[in-house]
């Protein structure tokens, strides 16, 4: 639980203009990669909490009318 507390409002502790000028392209790319992965994981966690294992609704199939 400590890590989530440490991450709360982390973006308020940094100067965006300073980061933009001081980070290398590789460092920025690592940040965006971590962010993209975190967002995908968060989406999966939301689904897992809404539909606990074995309770996910059956997929809908399209039919021609």
Structure tokens at 46: 């939301």
Q: Tens of pLDDT along 36-45?
A: 999 999 999 9
Structure tokens at 32: 């965006």
Distance CA 7, CA 28 (A): 18
The residues spanned by each domain of the chain are 23-49
Q: Tens of pLDDT along 6-65?
A: 889 999 999 999 999 999 999 999 999 999 999 999 999 999 999 988 765 656 677 666
Q: Which residue has the tokens 């909490």?
A: 49
């Amino acid at each position: 639980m400590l890590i989530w507390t440490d991450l709360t409002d982390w973006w308020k502790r940094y100067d965006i203009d300073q980061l933009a000028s001081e980070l290398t392209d590789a460092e920025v790319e690592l940040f965006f990669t971590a962010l993209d992965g975190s967002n995908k994981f968060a989406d999966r966690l939301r689904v897992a909490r809404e539909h606990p294992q074995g309770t996910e609704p059956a997929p809908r199939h399209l039919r021609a009318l």
